């Protein structure tokens, strides 16, 4: 297919894309990198023509592409599919959500071809999850299903917005090889926010800056481009601003050791054990990184701390000096925890304003139901300014791009300066600058012990110098599921 985007100007309530003239020749695959601004989502909507005139305005020409010839993979698509499936499963059940839509069903629905579905599940390492409900998958598992689902449509053109987000190291490697193979028969547009995610087999790179298609170059020109160094310097300044803001509102709630302790932790569902025999003690001031492959139970473990996992009461847990299940109030515990995760992002479905999302962090609520103090509004406003989102203060959360929503949820978690800051793959959906900014800020928060970090990321480059304690899930050869190994760097 030859695709041409010309004189194109497109705006949602929070992002603009501006393309003078971009020609994608037949058989070409492109990489897209945006220094600042979430262009992937808008490009995806434009190329798939999912244009809602109420939320998107555009002028210019998109030539050579029809909705039937393109499939899109994005974090927003994944979120929307999950919401639709939860709703459908709910409406088909007797008053409680009964997850029925399986991984096989999600992929099969796109092609109605048994053999192709099995082949795709095998290629994306999903065969063992074939009968699992889609709604119960881990982040990385869900991501791979979205890819299988897009390929199942058998369209000639794929738009993959952050296809590597949430994948562990091994699956990132196999995905690169898989996409390279796929690019022999399909055209692919891969949008990445990490320079290391730009696949080697890509020949052309389009670089966007503040939504404008700035430079088109070959992959080898991209490899030597100075933009990454420039961005790194810029992000450093913003992170210092965050630190200054937090330092001003410093407080010090300290609990006796251990802050958290799990003895012989085990989580299992009727058909499988996720992990067992896990012993983990978190002492004051020690930052931890939780490691392990997709599906090993990292989010589950953090859910035991946060208190939103149903099996937190069947486990032997001490938190902030209380035995879990001894009549402690869940709100009393949540008061001392800030949380960012894909699950929370999914739950944050209320439509309050960007400012209110940050303020809601003071109340641990999803949405804002109390009248905030002038001081709280002022701190939240400062956060918006640092995140370059001051102009979006009144914009409804749901109208923002995924990455902007994620930045707000990060600010929401940090704003009250919790004792424990749980960051479960916090960078998903952030552009390059956003990720750098947050990573630097977290490093500073950890260094100054403004909060104690529990951190999950699949990328080596996300490692924080201040984190020297690790709990890593490894496959247990002698029994089902994973066990945990604790180590110090
Ligand atoms: N209700 C459930 N029934 C059965 N299995 C479940 C249920 N909920 C979650 N799981 C499974 O538990 C496993 C652990 O999920 P979890 O989200 O903790 O993994 P993770 O290590 O955080 O993975 P990722 O790196 O992909 O985010 C996954 O294989 C998931 O499919």
- For the Cβ of 336 lying below 6 angstroms from any atom of ligand 1, the answer is no
Share of the chain above pLDDT 70, in %: 96
Contact 336, 389 (CB under 8 A): no
69 and 92 in a common domain:
yes
Among 222, 227, 214, CA closest to 18 = 214
326 and 211 in a common domain:
no
Check pLDDT > 60 for residue 95: no
Check pLDDT > 80 for residue 53: no
**DSSP codes joined into one string, 393-446:** TTSBGGGS-HHHHHHHHHHHHHTT--SEEEEESTTTT--HHHHHHHHHHHHHHH
- For the Cβ of 428 lying below 6 angstroms from any atom of ligand 1, the answer is no
- C-alpha to C-alpha distance for 266 and 245, rounded to whole angstroms: 40
250 and 215 in a common domain:
no
Query: Considering the domain boundaries, does residue 392 fall inside one?
Result: yes
Distance, CA 44 to ligand 1 centroid (Å)? 28
What mean pLDDT do residues 18-37 have? Answer: 92
- For the Cβ of 269 lying below 6 angstroms from any atom of ligand 1, the answer is yes
Pocket test for ligand 1, best of 136, 275, 341, 343 (most atoms within 8 A of CB): 136
Determine the pLDDT at residue 210: 86
Query: Considering the domain boundaries, does residue 23 fall inside one?
Result: yes
Query: Considering the domain boundaries, does residue 198 fall inside one?
Result: yes
- C-alpha to C-alpha distance for 29 and 324, rounded to whole angstroms: 53
141 and 85 in a common domain:
yes
Distance, CA 82 to ligand 1 centroid (Å)? 15
Check pLDDT > 60 for residue 93: no
- For the Cβ of 487 lying below 6 angstroms from any atom of ligand 1, the answer is no
* pLDDT, tens digit (0-9, with 9 covering 90-100), for 302-318: 999 998 899 999 999 99
263 and 305 in a common domain:
yes
Give the closest residue (by CA) to ligand 1 atom 3.
269
> Two tokens at 8?
């194109």
Query: Given strand 316-319, what is the order of strands in its sheet?
Result: 322-323, 316-319, 260-269, 272-282, 482-488, 469-475, 288-291, 452-456, 420-424, 337-340
Distance, CA 395 to ligand 1 centroid (Å)? 33
* pLDDT, tens digit (0-9, with 9 covering 90-100), for 419-440: 999 999 999 999 888 888 899 8
Minimum mean pLDDT among 138-142, 313-317, 442-446: which range?
442-446
90 and 37 in a common domain:
yes
Among 48, 47, 52, 57, CA closest to 22 = 47
Distance, CA 362 to ligand 1 centroid (Å)? 29
- For the Cβ of 132 lying below 6 angstroms from any atom of ligand 1, the answer is yes
What is the helix (H) or strand (E) element at residue 462, kind and residue range?
none
- For the Cβ of 342 lying below 6 angstroms from any atom of ligand 1, the answer is no
- C-alpha to C-alpha distance for 108 and 119, rounded to whole angstroms: 11
Among 409, 382, 406, 401, CA closest to 393 = 382
CA dihedral 461, 465, 466, 467 (to 10 degrees): 50
**How distant is the alpha carbon of residue 475 from its chain centre?**
25
145 conformational bin, left if phi > 0, alpha if psi -120 to 50, beta if neither:
alpha
Query: Considering the domain boundaries, does residue 230 fall inside one?
Result: no
388 burial level (CB within 10 Å; 0-12, 13-18, 19+): middle
Among 192, 225, 258, the domain-final residue is 225
Give the closest residue (by CA) to ligand 1 atom 6.
136
257 and 208 in a common domain:
no
Determine the pLDDT at residue 302: 96
- For the Cβ of 141 lying below 6 angstroms from any atom of ligand 1, the answer is yes
Instruction: State the average pLDDT for the chain.
Output: 90
Query: Considering the domain boundaries, does residue 462 fall inside one?
Result: yes
Q: Where are the beta strands (DSSP E) in 121-186?
A: 157-161
- For the Cβ of 300 lying below 6 angstroms from any atom of ligand 1, the answer is yes
Determine the pLDDT at residue 235: 65
Among 181, 205, 225, the domain-final residue is 225
Question: Ligand 1 atom closest to Cα of 458?
Answer: 25
Contact 165, 143 (CB under 8 A): yes
C-alpha distances (whole Å) from 128 to each of 4, 103, 112, 163, 168 are 41, 10, 20, 21, 17
* pLDDT, tens digit (0-9, with 9 covering 90-100), for 256-300: 889 999 999 999 998 789 999 999 999 998 999 999 999 999 999
**How distant is the alpha carbon of residue 260 from its chain centre?**
26
- pLDDT-derived band at 97 (thresholds 50, 70, 90) equals low
Contact 217, 204 (CB under 8 A): yes
* pLDDT, tens digit (0-9, with 9 covering 90-100), for 387-419: 889 999 999 999 898 999 999 999 999 998 899
What mean pLDDT do residues 50-57 have? Answer: 78
- C-alpha to C-alpha distance for 181 and 201, rounded to whole angstroms: 10
* pLDDT, tens digit (0-9, with 9 covering 90-100), for 358-384: 999 999 999 999 999 999 999 999 989
121 and 255 in a common domain:
no
Count of structural domains within the chain: 2
- C-alpha to C-alpha distance for 375 and 249, rounded to whole angstroms: 10
Range of the domain at 404: 235-488
Distance, CA 281 to ligand 1 centroid (Å)? 22
242 and 205 in a common domain:
no
248 and 160 in a common domain:
no
Determine the pLDDT at residue 470: 96
Give the closest residue (by CA) to ligand 1 atom 10.
136
Give the closest residue (by CA) to ligand 1 atom 27.
139
Distance, CA 6 to ligand 1 centroid (Å)? 44
Question: Ligand 1 atom closest to Cα of 129?
Answer: 31
Contact 231, 432 (CB under 8 A): yes
Q: What is the ipTM of this complex?
A: 0.98
Determine the pLDDT at residue 327: 77
Question: Ligand 1 atom closest to Cα of 342?
Answer: 27
> Two tokens at 257?
């050791």
Distance, CA 298 to ligand 1 centroid (Å)? 8
C-alpha distances (whole Å) from 84 to each of 88, 134, 148, 149, 468 are 6, 11, 18, 15, 41
Distance, CA 254 to ligand 1 centroid (Å)? 32
Among 215, 185, 193, 216, CA closest to 203 = 216
C-alpha distances (whole Å) from 56 to each of 52, 59, 351, 352 are 6, 10, 18, 20
What is the helix (H) or strand (E) element at residue 133, kind and residue range?
none
CA dihedral 341, 344, 350, 356 (to 10 degrees): -60
Query: CATH no. for residue 327?
Result: 3.40.50.300
Question: Ligand 1 atom closest to Cα of 137?
Answer: 31
Distance, CA 328 to ligand 1 centroid (Å)? 27
Check pLDDT > 60 for residue 109: yes
- For the Cβ of 298 lying below 6 angstroms from any atom of ligand 1, the answer is yes
368 and 310 in a common domain:
yes
What is the helix (H) or strand (E) element at residue 80, kind and residue range?
helix 75-91
Whole-model pTM: value is: 0.89
Check pLDDT > 90 for residue 331: no
Determine the pLDDT at residue 371: 95
Among 202, 225, 248, the domain-final residue is 225
Please name the residues in contact with 482: beta carbons below 8 A apart, sequence gap of 6 or more. 274, 275, 292, 296, 297, 473, 474, 475, 476
- pLDDT-derived band at 489 (thresholds 50, 70, 90) equals confident
- For the Cβ of 457 lying below 6 angstroms from any atom of ligand 1, the answer is no
C-alpha distances (whole Å) from 217 to each of 29, 31, 289 are 13, 10, 37
Determine the pLDDT at residue 223: 84
Check pLDDT > 90 for residue 189: yes
* pLDDT, tens digit (0-9, with 9 covering 90-100), for 206-259: 999 889 999 999 988 888 888 777 777 766 667 777 777 777 665 565 688 899
Distance, CA 372 to ligand 1 centroid (Å)? 36
Distance, CA 269 to ligand 1 centroid (Å)? 10
Check pLDDT > 60 for residue 96: no
Minimum mean pLDDT among 240-254, 317-331, 344-358: which range?
240-254
- For the Cβ of 197 lying below 6 angstroms from any atom of ligand 1, the answer is no
148 and 32 in a common domain:
yes
- For the Cβ of 137 lying below 6 angstroms from any atom of ligand 1, the answer is yes
Query: Considering the domain boundaries, does residue 449 fall inside one?
Result: yes
Determine the pLDDT at residue 173: 93
């Amino acid at each position: 297919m030859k695709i041409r985007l010309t004189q194109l100007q497109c705006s949602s309530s929070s992002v603009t894309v501006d393309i003078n003239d971009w020609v994608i020749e037949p058989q070409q695959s492109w990489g897209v990198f945006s220094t600042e601004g979430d262009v992937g989502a808008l490009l995806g909507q434009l190329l798939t023509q999912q244009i809602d005139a109420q939320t998107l305005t555009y002028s210019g020409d998109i030539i050579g592409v029809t909705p039937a010839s393109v499939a899109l993979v994005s974090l927003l698509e994944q979120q929307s599919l999950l919401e639709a499936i939860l709703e459908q499963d709910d409406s088909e059940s007797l008053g409680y959500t009964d997850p029925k839509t399986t991984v096989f069903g999600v992929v099969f629905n796109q092609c109605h071809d048994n053999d192709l579905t099995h082949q795709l599940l095998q290629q994306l390492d999903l065969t063992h999850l074939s009968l699992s409900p889609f709604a119960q998958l881990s982040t990385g598992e869900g991501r791979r299903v979205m890819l299988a689902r897009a390929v199942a449509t058998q369209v000639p053109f794929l738009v993959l917005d952050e296809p590597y987000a949430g994948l562990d190291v091994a699956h990132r490697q196999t995905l690169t090889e898989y996409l390279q193979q796929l690019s022999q028969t399909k055209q692919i547009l891969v949008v990445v926010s990490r320079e290391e995610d730009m696949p080697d087999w890509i020949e052309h790179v389009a670089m966007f800056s503040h939504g404008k298609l700035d430079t088109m170059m070959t992959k080898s020109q991209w490899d030597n481009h100075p933009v990454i160094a420039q961005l790194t310097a810029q992000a450093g300044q913003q992170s210092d601003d965050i630190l200054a803001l937090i330092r001003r509102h410093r407080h010090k709630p300290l609990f006796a050791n251990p802050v958290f302790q799990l003895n012989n932790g085990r989580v299992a569902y009727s058909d499988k054990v996720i992990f067992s025999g896990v012993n983990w003690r978190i002492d004051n001031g020690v930052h931890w990184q939780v490691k392990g492959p997709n599906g090993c139970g990292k989010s589950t473990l953090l859910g035991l701390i946060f208190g939103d996992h149903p099996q937190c009461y069947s486990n032997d847990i001490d938190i902030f000096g209380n035995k879990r299940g001894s009549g402690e109030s869940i709100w009393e515990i949540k008061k001392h925890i800030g949380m960012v995760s894909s699950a929370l992002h999914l739950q944050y479905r209320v439509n309050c304003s960007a400012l209110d999302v940050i303020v809601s962090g003071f109340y641990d609520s999803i949405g804002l139901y109390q009248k905030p103090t002038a001081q709280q509004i002022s701190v939240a406003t400062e956060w918006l300014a640092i995140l370059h989102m001051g102009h979006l203060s009144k914009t409804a959360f749901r109208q923002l791009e995924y990455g902007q929503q994620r930045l707000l949820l990060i600010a929401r978690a940090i704003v009250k300066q919790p004792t424990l800051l749980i960051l479960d793959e916090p960078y998903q959906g952030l552009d390059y600058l956003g990720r750098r900014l947050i990573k630097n800020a977290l490093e500073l928060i950890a260094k100054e012990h403004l909060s104690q970090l529990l951190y999950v990321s699949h990328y080596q480059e996300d490692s924080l110098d201040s984190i020297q304690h690790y709990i890593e899930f490894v496959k247990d050869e002698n029994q089902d599921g994973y066990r945990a190994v604790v180590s110090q760097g």
